[in-house]
Structure 1
Amino acid sequence: MDNPEAQVERVIRALTVQSRQDQADALEEYFLPDAYFIHPFCRVPSFGDRKIPLINQTINSRWFIFFIYQWYRILSPDIKLTIDSASFDKKNDLLYCSIRQKFTLWFVPFSLWQANVRLVTVLELKRKPTDRNNRPILNGRPSPDIDDLSLSYQPNKLYFIKGQEDHYQVEDFLKFIAPWGASLLWFSWQLFATFICAAGVLLLRKPIVVLRERVLGLDSRAIKKE
């Protein structure tokens, strides 16, 4: 990506609402081979190419991320997804995306099970030089393309996804595992906790101030000047 804020929606849609081949192409084009993935339900640590001798298969962490997105589409073939905003922190190479999605299990009749959730996806980006096919040059070595080995070739630099981390509020997370009322129970608990905070201040503020000032000898009015 040369403009992450403008291009990230295309990447997210390819991974979540398009075909299996679109998913594979998006991962190959935009994710580094050792990309990591963190979600409340699953995690893929970062690791590079590893060859499995018995099956003659080379795997890496991106390989497992592909299976996660495949399973995501198998469970919910008809996902409704909206990207509300995207903001790129260029100093720290972090891209923040605010997303709303409707996740429906295909085997539940009449759409009785639905998770209407909000999340913030944080993408860690790395700017890498690329070959003529816009593939990242890893470890300072271009891909084995004769043209790219020419001394006159000046690699272009693009942003690639080093890692993805999905953040959900607890009430949204609960909609995935207990859609019928669990989020309402959590909402009620949050209101109760707020009431406890207010009651604690009203009932205990004066005794605590007295304890601090008279027993412990601390002046609560003293403010440290910075």
Structure 2
Amino acid sequence: MANVAVLVTAAVNPEIQKAAVLKYYAHDAAFRHPFCVVEPSPGSRDAILAILQWYRILSPKLSVRVTSVTYDEEKHSVFLDVSQTFHIRWSPFNPAPARLLVRLTLRPEPSPEDPSKTIYVIAAQEDFYHPEDLTLLLIPPFRPLVNTALRTATFACKVNARLFGMFGYWTVRDGEGGRGVNLQPRGEPLPPVGENEERELQEMPKRDGEARGDKKND
């Protein structure tokens, strides 16, 4: 999947990019980005291709590096941790690497070459950015301003939480009476033991007895 991400965003020529999108995306794939969205529908892949082509036109020297890949087999989801350097063609600012998380939802389909085999195509793509990384795509020098705004918002949350708590809004109370909570309650039942853990507990006395027998023989 790391190679797919590079091919569809930073291919060396438009032919390779188009071939990759047609091969790896479902014909009715969905796409979501902070600046645009494509709803799943017949032929929606064409709109995704146009977005990726415009992305490449805007940044002719776009570079993409996938730092990690995580696959959720149960949900057929792939998570890519990506670092990209996006520089708008006409921007006077120096580019800076921005980080984003890409979630790809896969869908099994019969292989067009051999219907007896199953392949997985991209049914949906979602791109997630932090505010400061999104700023790096457009106006990199503004990143310190965004960081300052985020820290200011954090300070405002702390002040407002204490202030409104004084007036009884979402106030933490001590003890187990009323709405209070004890973080270490006594008599609370233990979580259920898993099958593997139960088997391990049953085998422990046997192993301990064998170990004691070995010590006596020594």
Deviation at residue 82 of structure 1 after TM alignment:
1.0
2:34 to 40, 43, 53: 40
Instruction: Flag the 1:202–1:68 CA change in 2: closer, same or farther, 3 A.
Output: closer
Q: 2: distance between equivalents of 1:35 and 1:201?
A: 42
Verify: 1:125 aligned to 2:131, yes or no: no
2:2 maps to 9
Verify: 1:98 aligned to 2:52, yes or no: no
Question: CA-to-partner distance for each residue in 1:167-224, whole Å, 9 max, x for gaps?
Answer: 111121223333322x322211222232233344555655538x898xxxx8342469
Which one-letter code corresponds to 2:105 in the other structure? E
What RMSD, in angstroms, separates the aligned Cα atoms of the two structures? 2.7
Verify: 1:196 aligned to 2:156, yes or no: yes
Relative CO higher for 1 or 2, CA cutoff 8 Å, sep ≥ 6? Answer: 1
Instruction: Flag the 1:62–1:220 CA change in 2: closer, same or farther, 3 A.
Output: same
Deviation at residue 69 of structure 1 after TM alignment:
1.1
Question: CA-to-partner distance for each residue in 1:30-80, whole Å, 9 max, x for gaps?
Answer: 1111111111111111111xxxxxxxxxxx111111111111111111112
Pair member with larger Rg? 2
- SS class of match (2:168): helix
1:71 maps to 54
Of 90-99 and 166-175, deviating more is: 166-175
When normalised by structure 2's length, the TM-score is 0.72
Q: Is the 8 A contact 2:172 2:180 kept in 1?
A: no
1:186 to 127, 131, 146: 146
Which one-letter code corresponds to 1:24 in the other structure? K
Structure 1: runs of 5+ lacking an equivalent: 1-7, 49-59, 135-153
Which one-letter code corresponds to 1:9 in the other structure? A
Deviation at residue 131 of structure 1 after TM alignment:
3.0
Verify: 1:23 aligned to 2:23, yes or no: no
Deviation at residue 165 of structure 1 after TM alignment:
0.8
2:45 maps to 62
Give me the identity figure in percent: 28
Q: 1: distance between equivalents of 2:88 and 2:135?
A: 15
Q: 2: distance between equivalents of 1:107 and 1:195?
A: 37
Instruction: Flag the 1:197–1:47 CA change in 2: closer, same or farther, 3 A.
Output: closer
Q: Is the 8 A contact 1:105 1:113 kept in 2?
A: no
Q: 2: distance between equivalents of 1:118 and 1:222?
A: 39
Deviation at residue 24 of structure 1 after TM alignment:
1.0
Question: CA-to-partner distance for each residue in 1:80-121, whole Å, 9 max, x for gaps?
Answer: 211011111111111110101010122335xx2425211101
When normalised by structure 1's length, the TM-score is 0.70
1:169 maps to 130
